[in-house]
Amino acid sequence: MPADLRESWCIRDVEIPTRLVLAPMAGVSVQAFRRQGRRFGAGLVCSEMVSCAGIEHRNERTLGYLRVAGDEHPLAIQIFGSEPRAMAEAAQMAEAAGADLVDINFGCPVRKVTKTGAGATLLDKPARACAIVEAVAGAVDVPVSVKMRRGLRDGARTCLEVGPQLVDAGAATLTLHPRSAEQMYTGWADHALTAELVALVDVPVIASGDITSRAKAQSILAATGAAAVMVGRGAQGNPWILREIVDGDVDDPSREEIVAELVLFIRETVRELGERRASSFLKKFYGWYLGGGRFPRPFKQELVLLDSTEAVQRLLAAAPGALPLLERLEAELPGGDEVLLDLPISVYGGG
């Protein structure tokens, strides 16, 4: 019997309405991306990783990540760092911002993170990793989750040694991306390790890596016993994959649907980040949304040179039928206040 991806599940007392989680991705998982993910069927969405050092030093760009909309819940805010005290304080700030879970990053393989002693490198320092989880779990009332890789080197099985220790330290759920830090995003995710981890711990495990279709999601859930699957890069500029995984909707979006979603994403990102920051941030999304032969390459290259407002005009001119779809999407957007911490308004970008 295939897994029902519309079935709810729980991380401690937090109910997750579907078995699909939208991954935290640096430079991608802004509020607009997370809200879109919820609309398309993600049961849990995650912020991009937030530096505990940035929070501690009250860096405005870092604090801007702690902007939470009412329709994002349930939401995990992911933090990273290497000092238990600083991580605990960052977790408290995330909870105050409205996080339903605090997620700890023990998986990032990028050098600028690992060289600080954070991210995946903590898998080779289990005592410190456990001290961080214990400090964070003791500092907040919401559940604590941990995202990790299999280990630093190819073939490592470190996750199976460290995972149960992290649960004993207070982790309420684990997410495993069973690639090594050395692999980065090459090769294949070894979900045989995910199944082994599931058998070792008594908390829900989320399977991450190579979830590219409904069939793949169901097969990985069946083979591993994981509670849910996490989708990351596959959803970049392609929220329709979330709907396909959850509901089995395999219809390709029309040009008008693509433009309507992209324009809404642009407008929401400008509201969140402001015109200047959004124009730079959005450049990669034009290729993601409009690639795969959907629009000519010169058109995509042209958009990259424009500011966000001009890009909207060009997109609607290229697909006039998108306008009524866009108006309907905007009318259906949920209302609700954002949680804004007692911080300077400049922290919150455009809004």
The per-residue pLDDT for 346 is 44
Extents of the domains making up the chain: 9-247, 255-335
Residues in the chain: 351
State how far the Cα of 37 lies from the Cα of 16, in Å rounded to an integer.
Answer: 14
Q: Which residues are catalytic?
A: 108
> Which residue has 């019997």 as its token pair?
1
Distance of CA 176 to the CA centre of its chain: 14
Distance of CA 14 to the CA centre of its chain: 17
Three-class SS state of 306: coil
| Radius of gyration for the alpha carbons in the chain, expressed in angstroms and rounded | 20
Name which of 33, 38, 135, 150 is nearest 92 in CA terms.
135
DSSP 318: H
Three-class SS state of 201: coil
Q: Are 173 and 203 in contact (CB under 8 A)?
A: yes
Query: What averages of pLDDT result for each successive group of 10 residues across the chain (351 residues)?
Result: 89 97 95 95 95 83 84 95 95 95 94 88 96 98 97 93 98 97 90 98 97 95 97 95 91 94 96 90 94 87 90 94 95 71 50 48
Instruction: Annotate 79-105 with DSSP letters as a single string.
Output: EE-S-HHHHHHHHHHHHHHT-SEEEEE
What top-level class would CATH report for the domain 9-247?
alpha beta
- Residue/partner pairs of 245-252 with CB below 8 Å, 24 or more apart: 245/5, 245/20, 245/41, 245/211, 245/213, 245/214, 245/217, 246/5, 246/6, 246/18, 246/20, 246/40, 246/41, 246/214, 247/6, 247/41, 248/214
Beta bridge partners of 147: 105, 175
C-beta atoms surrounding 222 within 10 Å? 12
State how far the Cα of 192 lies from the Cα of 150, in Å rounded to an integer.
Answer: 11
State how far the Cα of 315 lies from the Cα of 300, in Å rounded to an integer.
Answer: 10
